């Protein structure tokens, strides 16, 4: 158990719809990162939030957006869903931003499985 | 090595043998690396990490070796057990994110 919790665990959406995924970080962790993991591939970085602001973004379009709240929990929002958005969405938390000197380890939740039909 | 797509590199070992999983990373400036284990239907689980100022680090039954000259990372698992069966990912720090390889599937035969 990493202390990172995600909801929902599974959901099915229709192409064109919008989805919100939620994440509670490990106690004491102020940084949350989101990753997309397609079947048979490694996780791909979407973005990172630190102290309620975006602190780095991967190669994902603007319809992928996020929020971080004062308690460090976070949301991932995806608009205009496409079939290729079907994947496992992973949230990870760390004590400080990944890019910091200390190389903070990121701990993952169990993920939210999104299927777009 | 790593590959992209559904055909993960695979490693099959006998229970009790040692396993070595290899990874080639891309950025010679990367200064921090992590190995993760991912079981079916679960999120990646931290195994061990290493900074670039080290070439070896040991944990419980696991050892990570880093060769910066050839940008190569390996994970050694001693006395492999059935519970070690999973997909193993190496990850390198890349600015504010961790960049993951496609993973290697380890299967332990009883």
Q: Mind listing the pLDDT tens digit for each residue in B17-55?
A: 999 999 998 888 888 999 999 999 899 999 999 999 999
Phi (first) and psi of residue B84, to 5 degrees: -85, -10
Q: Note whether B96 contacts A55, CB cutoff 8 Å.
A: yes
How confident is the model at residue B7, as a pLDDT? 55
How confident is the model at residue A95, as a pLDDT? 84
The yes-or-no verdict on residue B59 having pLDDT over 80 is: yes
Q: Which of B24, B35, B44 to mutate: most A Cβ within 10 Å? A: B44
Strand partners, A11: A114
Q: What is the pLDDT along chain A (117 residues), one digit of tens a residue?
A: 778 999 999 999 999 999 999 999 988 889 999 999 999 899 999 999 999 999 999 999 999 999 999 999 999 999 999 999 999 999 999 887 765 555 578 899 999 999 999
Q: Which helix (H) or strand (E) holds A46?
A: strand A44-50
How confident is the model at residue B1, as a pLDDT? 39
C-beta separation of B94 from B25 below 8 A: no
How confident is the model at residue B101, as a pLDDT? 87
Report the chain B residue with the minimal C-alpha distance to residue A98. Answer: B96
The bridge status of strand B10-14 relative to strand B104-109 is parallel
How confident is the model at residue B87, as a pLDDT? 96
How confident is the model at residue A33, as a pLDDT? 94
Mean pLDDT of chain B: 89
How confident is the model at residue B5, as a pLDDT? 34
The yes-or-no verdict on residue B96 having pLDDT over 90 is: no
Using the Cβ of A59 and the Cβ atoms of chain B, whether some distance falls under 8 Å is answered with: no
How confident is the model at residue A28, as a pLDDT? 86
Using the Cβ of A66 and the Cβ atoms of chain B, whether some distance falls under 8 Å is answered with: no
DSSP codes joined into one string, B69-100: TTTEEEEEESS--GGG-EEEEEEEEETTEEEE
Residue B34 falls in which region: left (phi positive, over 0), alpha (psi -120 to 50) or beta:
beta
Tell me the chain B residues in contact with residue A56 when contact means C-beta distances shorter than 8 Å. 95-97
Tell me the shortest Cα–Cα distance from A62 to chain B, in angstroms. Answer: 18
C-beta separation of A74 from A25 below 8 A: yes
Tell me the shortest Cα–Cα distance from A80 to chain B, in angstroms. Answer: 25
Q: Which of A38, A41, A53, A112 to mutate: most B Cβ within 10 Å? A: A41
Using the Cβ of A95 and the Cβ atoms of chain B, whether some distance falls under 8 Å is answered with: no
Q: Which of A48, A54, A103, A107 to mutate: most B Cβ within 10 Å? A: A103
Using the Cβ of A90 and the Cβ atoms of chain B, whether some distance falls under 8 Å is answered with: yes
A83 three-state secondary structure: helix
How confident is the model at residue A98, as a pLDDT? 66
How confident is the model at residue B4, as a pLDDT? 33
How confident is the model at residue A100, as a pLDDT? 54
Question: CA torsion angle for A103, B75, B42, B17 (degrees, to 10)?
Answer: -160
């Amino acid at each position: 158990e990493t202390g990172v919790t995600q909801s929902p665990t599974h959901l099915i959406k229709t192409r064109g719809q919008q989805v919100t995924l939620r994440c509670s970080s490990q106690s004491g962790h102020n940084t949350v990162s989101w990753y997309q993991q397609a079947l048979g591939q490694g996780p791909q970085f979407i973005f990172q939030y630190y102290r309620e602001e975006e602190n780095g973004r991967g190669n994902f379009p603007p319809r992928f957006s996020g929020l971080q709240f004062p308690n460090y929990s976070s949301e991932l929002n995806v608009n205009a869903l496409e079939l290729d958005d079907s994947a496992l969405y992973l949230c990870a938390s760390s004590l400080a931003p990944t890019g910091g000197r200390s190389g903070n380890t990121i701990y993952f939740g169990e993920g939210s499985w999104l299927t777009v039909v | 090595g790593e590959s992209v797509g559904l055909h993960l590199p695979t490693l099959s070992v006998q229970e009790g043998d040692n396993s070595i999983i290899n990874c080639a990373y891309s950025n010679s400036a990367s200064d921090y690396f992590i190995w993760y284990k991912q079981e079916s239907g679960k999120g990646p689980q931290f195994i061990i990490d290493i900074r670039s100022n080290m070439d070896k680090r040991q944990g419980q039954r696991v050892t990570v070796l880093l060769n910066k000259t050839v940008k190569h990372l390996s994970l050694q698992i001693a006395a492999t057990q059935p519970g070690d069966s999973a997909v193993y990912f190496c990850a390198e720090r890349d600015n504010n994110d961790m960049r993951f390889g496609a993973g290697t599937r380890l299967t332990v035969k009883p």
